[in-house]
Every structure is written in structure tokens, then in C-alpha cells.
Amino acid sequence: MNRIHLSKLSLALLAALPLAGQAAGVSDGVVKVGVLTDMTGAYSDLAGPGSVAAAQMAAEDFGGKVLGKPIVVISADHQNKPDVASNVARRWFDEEQVDVVADLVSSSTALAVMPVAAAKKRITLLSGPGSDPITGDRCTPYNVHYTYDTYSMAHGTGSAVVQQGGKSWFFITADYVFGRTLEEDTASVVRAAGGKVLGAVRAPFPTADFSSYLLQAQSSGAQIVGLANAGADTVNSIKQAHEFGLTPKQSLAGLLVFISDIHSLGLEAAQGLYLTTAFYWDRDDESRKWSQRFYARTKKMPTMVHAGVYSEVMHYLQAVKAAGTDDADAVMKKMRETPVNDFFAKNARIGPDGLLRHDMYLARVKAPKDSKKPWDYYQILKTIPPDQAFPPLSASKCPLVKK
């Protein structure tokens, strides 16, 4: 009895399903941006609530409406778990009319959501993750990788530091795929630029005590100690390098450092560190103006991930307006056709692999005495043009790139 009743119910529900179809123009009368990010975990400082605020700022600055339909920003915490991320994304696409997912910090969540979005023809705008397969063999036609990738971090810092005179290198590497890729990439760039790699040491991931690795780096006598690690590992190694007196005799080069890391480390410990960044708030008038507004809202200066989220959401909304629809194919076409021109990037274009190639900046962390105001942390040494910062299309492993 029970079962018969239920199967009738299921049939009725099944019949009701096809009603949820798609219309032309703006589907469902709303353009919905879903910010899927790490709200509480290791990346919540560099992305997290700041990314949500950035997306909201973009929606407000656009006027809250596109093509006469409201823009809605929603957010969720993926807890850095790929299963949670892909579940939330599926629910967003199927039940909450989300048109575009932004940020997706941490590569595993991004790589989990990308195929889901592509299958449902929705767009992903990545700002937080950096892994190369995103625009390599795992690329999708509905994805934009906006802010940085590991290649740009390795190549930016590697070649630029050698040009600045840092000829001999030693690496402290987090012993897993990400760290090893970062080390190998950087080492090859250093050699190509005429530098020397004196050695490397692999630290298990994660490590709290870097003393033995730092001692090896110290005794190698290298001018530059490259930190091929991320997050807490980077913060711990920088802090301990300072305590060991490694710096300032040797200089550290962080291969994935965000301004939020520097803020929590303090300038005393971080001074002299070389790093590559896609955005620095105090670089020019435009970036200052936007960052002050971001600061007024969040009481923090933006990381490059935050700036990337604002810029990518803005670029998306402009493309929706220009295309006259929120249909993913049409919007992607417009986004590729139109160069990005704002406080974040100048004349930057999205390639067929989904990567936005834009200027990156080599920066050095200031000494405490040179820092004149709060958040005055970086001295920008050099602008790295897109063709040096990002991988050439000819070498792309992405099947969408026609050669």
C-alpha cells in the first residue's frame, strides 16, 4: 500500500519536472552570481568573506541590474572539500538558477566544479585557485581562470629575481605534487635566466618545524632561498627563517604569497621577501581608489584574489549586457572578444584555454622603517608582461586550443 502510493507520487513529480525549462534573454528573470569559497578554513583570509564582498561591490557598481533584471549575489562555504563544492554547485545550477560561480579557491574544489558547470552550460570564474591543469588538460569551454596560476608565480619570481641579481638559489619544497611542480618550474626558469640552483630540500606537507631545512638552506650559501610551498607552510618557514637569522644575509623568494600572509606575519619577519602578485592595492591611483572602498567595507586591504573576483564579475556582467542574454555560449564569446580594462588588468584577453593573460608584478616586502602607513607592505620592482608571466598558447595541453 505504502509503496504504491509513493510510486504514484513519484510519477506525479516526474511529470512536473520538464516545466523548469530555459528561456531566451535573461533566464528566470535574474542574473545570479554564486561565490563558492572557503569561509572558515585556511584560505578564508585570502579569499572567503572578502571575495563575497568583492562580488557584491561589483553587482552594486553595475547598478544592481543588468538588461533590466536584478543581479543577485549568493555565497556558500565549500570547506575546501571537493564533494561539498560540487554538491553545492549542482544544487545552485538546478534549483537556484545560479548563472555563474565565482572564486572557487583551492584547486581541488575548482577542478570538481568545472566539469559540473560545463555539463550544465554555466560559467565558472576562478580567482583563488592556481593549479596548471585548470587551463591545461582539464580545461573546459565555460571556464575563465582569472587571477594567477602556478606557472605565473614560478616564472615571474624566478626570472625577475635572477635579473635583479639573485643568481644562486636553494629551494625548500613542500613534498607533494604542487610543491614539486613549483620547484621544478622555478628551477628551470632560474637556469634559463642564467642563475644556478645549488640544491633543494623536501619538507613533508604540512610542516610546523622548518629548522633542519632552514639550516641546510643556510649552509648552502645561496643568495636566494625559494619557498615552494603555500599557506601555513609559507608563513611558518618565513617566520622561522627570520628567527634563525637566515635573512637578511640570504633573501627569501615566496612562490605563492598573498598580502594577507604578510599582514599576519608582520614586516619585521617578512621584510626583504620577493614575491609575484597580480595586484597590489597601492600600485596606482585606480587600484588605490578601489582598494580604499574595499577597505571601508571589510576593514582589510584586498588580496589579488579579491581584486580578481571584483574584476571578473564586472567583466561577466558587462558581457551579459553586451550579449543581450545570459546564455553561457553568447556570454563566453563576448568575454573572450572584449579585453579587460580596469584597475586590475589592462588590455588583457581571455585565451581559448580560459586563461586571462595580464601583467604580473614582482614585489619586495618593505622593511618596517620604510613602511609609512598601515598596509604599506610592498615595493613594486618590476612589471612582468603577460607573455613572460603566463604559459604560451602553443605549449598548452588544453584540447580546446587549436594548433
Chain residues binding another protein by CB under 8 A are 2-3, 6-7, 9-10, 13-14, 39-40, 44, 49, 74-84, 86-88, 90-91, 94-95, 106-108, 111-112, 115, 131, 133, 138, 175-178, 204-205
Residue (163 or 181) nearer to another protein, CB: 181
d(CA 224, CA 243): 17
* Least spacing, CB of residue 130 vs another protein, in Å: 10
d(CA 108, CA 81): 8
Q: 17: how many CB neighbours lie within 10 A of its CB?
A: 7
Q: 70: how many CB neighbours lie within 10 A of its CB?
A: 13
* Least spacing, CB of residue 74 vs another protein, in Å: 7
* Least spacing, CB of residue 304 vs another protein, in Å: 20
* Least spacing, CB of residue 38 vs another protein, in Å: 10
* Least spacing, CB of residue 321 vs another protein, in Å: 28
Q: Are 340 and 356 in contact (CB under 8 A)?
A: yes
* Least spacing, CB of residue 341 vs another protein, in Å: 32
d(CA 315, CA 338): 9
Q: How do strand 349-350 and strand 31-37 relate by DSSP bridges?
A: unpaired
Q: What is the dihedral of CA 139, 140, 142, 145, to 10 degrees?
A: -10
* Least spacing, CB of residue 179 vs another protein, in Å: 9
Angle, helices 328-337 vs 304-323, to 10°: value is 110
Q: 275: how many CB neighbours lie within 10 A of its CB?
A: 27
* Least spacing, CB of residue 87 vs another protein, in Å: 6
- What backbone phi and psi angles, to 5 degrees, belong to 135? -110, 10
